[in-house]
């Protein structure tokens, strides 16, 4: 069944993509060895560097696959398989770093945060002080809890202990401020379907620092497998950037064209404005949720993500029923994914092209849905707080 075009997606990916992006995808003729396509691919490479804050000579890779593939491929190509890796986990996707590293034979230690919180920096320092680590893996925004890690501080710790910092930016890139080269975040990975506002199917990797490039060069002979060997993809990326063509494996032509258009739109909005918009919408949404009497999972505004919010539902209210009722009202929210939040919370995405009208509509519908389910909700209380925050922050 096809969705109603007026449906509002408030999910943490895939997100709504624009008619302009759709139009670009509607072409019948993208051919990966044509000069036109090389130009489009080159613009994706340059645009991606801009949104992650990588230097103009930082190697970047765009390969067909999802965010999980990008995480795995980035790890294999930059971290010696004999290394110990420290996973700093704030939830489901942080844990995924551990699973990926274990599946590939790394010696893994996981430091897990309390639910809705981040791992205290002193416990990271204490663990790294034991020595022997080659890399630290973290998710910038943890989509299961709506918590954001402080990459500036983690990068400075990584540097102090000479470990590579590999950050999963799947739920942050193009929505949260990020200057990977200046901050010293060595490697950043992401995927097309979140704040990059493109359909799912592209994994993106940036080697943002000299250290990352050196690790990549040292490691290239050790990568087992074929598709995952980024040194082979590097030649293709370099050719496309020069406007020339090369082949390793067929690129996802239509997705590349779509991402090129989306990156143009993102840069036309301006990154600073875009980050500010995401911040304002996130704060307005959370103000509304709190004023409704709900508890946000992220323990403080300081660590709360600008792209996704996990929120506890009132006692006895089922997430599946809330999602169903919201869907009937044409707004899609997401189910919990963190094991400890199942049965008691929902997640609301607010990234990409989400705007103030979407946030107002979501709070308004959620108030009615919860009241109808018997929760103690005063209609308009959440909405008022959302309005006030939008008034202060946006208009």
Which residues are at the interface with ligand PLP (CB under 6 A)?
13, 66-68, 93, 139, 143, 168, 170-171, 191
- The smaller minimum CB distance to ligand PLP, of residues 66 and 214, is found at 66
Tokens of 96: 């995924």
Minimum CB–partner distance for residue 226 and ligand PLP (Å): 20
Q: Say if CB 337 and CB 347 are below 8 A apart.
A: yes
CB of 162 to ligand PLP, least distance (A): 26
Q: Give whichever of 143 and 209 is closer to ligand PLP, judged by the CB atom.
A: 143
Exposure of 46 in the CB half-sphere (CA atoms within 13 A)? 15
We find the least distance from the C-beta atom of residue 89 to ligand PLP, in angstroms, to be 11
Count Cβ atoms below 10 Å from residue 358 Cβ, excluding itself: 18
Q: Which residues pair with 86 in a beta bridge?
A: 109, 136
| Nearest distance, CB of residue 97 and ligand PLP, angstroms | 9
Residue closer to ligand PLP by CB (options 143, 387) is: 143
**Residue with nearest beta carbon to ligand PLP:** 67
204, 190 in Cβ contact below 8 A? Answer: yes
Toward ligand PLP, which CB reaches closer, 66 or 355?
A: 66
Separation CA 392–CA 385 (nearest Å): 11
Q: Measured from the CB of residue 390, what is the shortest distance to ligand PLP in angstroms?
A: 26
Helices (H) then strands (E): counts for the chain? 14, 13
CB of 192 to ligand PLP, least distance (A): 8
Contact 115, 297 (CB under 8 A): yes
Cα atoms in the 13 Å half-sphere on the side-chain side of 394: 21
Indicate the residue among 124 and 204 with the shorter CB distance to ligand PLP. 204
Which of residues 100 and 155 has its CB atom nearest to ligand PLP in the complex?
Answer: 100
* Alpha carbon distances (Å) from 172 to 95, 117, 153, 179, 286: 17, 17, 17, 12, 18
């Amino acid at each position: 069944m096809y969705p109603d075009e007026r449906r509002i997606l408030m999910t943490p990916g895939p997100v709504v993509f624009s008619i302009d992006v759709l139009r670009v995808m509607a072409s019948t003729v993208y051919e990966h060895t044509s000069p036109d396509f090389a130009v489009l691919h080159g613009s994706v490479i340059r645009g991606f560097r801009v949104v992650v804050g990588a230097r103009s000579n930082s190697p970047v890779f765009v390969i067909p696959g999802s965010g999980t593939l990008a995480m795995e491929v980035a790890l294999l190509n930059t971290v010696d398989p004999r290394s110990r890796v420290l996973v700093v986990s704030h939830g489901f996707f942080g844990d995924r770093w551990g699973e990926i590293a274990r599946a590939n034979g790394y010696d893994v230690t996981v430091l897990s945060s309390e639910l809705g919180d981040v791992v205290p920096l002193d416990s990271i320092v204490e663990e790294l002080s034991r020595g022997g680590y080659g890399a630290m893996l973290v998710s910038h925004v943890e989509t299961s809890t709506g918590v954001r890690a402080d990459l500036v501080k983690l990068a400075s710790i990584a540097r102090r202990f000479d470990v590579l910092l590999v950050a999963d930016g799947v739920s942050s890139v193009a929505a949260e401020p990020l200057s990977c080269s200046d901050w010293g975040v060595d490697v950043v990975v992401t995927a097309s379907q979140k704040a990059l506002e493109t359909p799912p199917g592209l994994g993106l990797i940036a080697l943002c620092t000299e250290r990352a490039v050196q690790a990549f060069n040292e490691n290239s002979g050790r990568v087992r497998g074929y598709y995952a060997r980024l040194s082979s993809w590097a030649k293709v990326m370099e050719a496309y950037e020069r406007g020339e063509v090369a082949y390793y494996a067929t690129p996802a032509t239509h997705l590349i064209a779509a991402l090129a258009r989306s990156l143009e739109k993102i840069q036309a909005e301006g990154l600073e404005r875009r980050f500010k918009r995401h911040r304002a919408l996130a704060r307005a949404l959370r103000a509304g949720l709190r004023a409704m009497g709900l508890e946000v999972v992220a323990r403080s505004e300081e660590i709360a993500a600008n792209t996704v919010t996990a929120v506890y539902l009132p006692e006895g209210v089922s997430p599946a029923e809330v999602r169903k009722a919201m869907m009937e009202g044409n707004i899609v929210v997401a189910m919990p994914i963190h094991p400890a939040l199942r049965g008691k919370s929902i997640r609301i995405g607010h990234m990409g092209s989400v705007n103030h009208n979407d946030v107002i509509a979501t709070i308004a519908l959620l108030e009615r849905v919860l009241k109808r389910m018997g929760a103690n909700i005063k209609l308009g209380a959440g909405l008022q707080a959302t309005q006030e925050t939008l008034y202060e922050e946006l208009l």
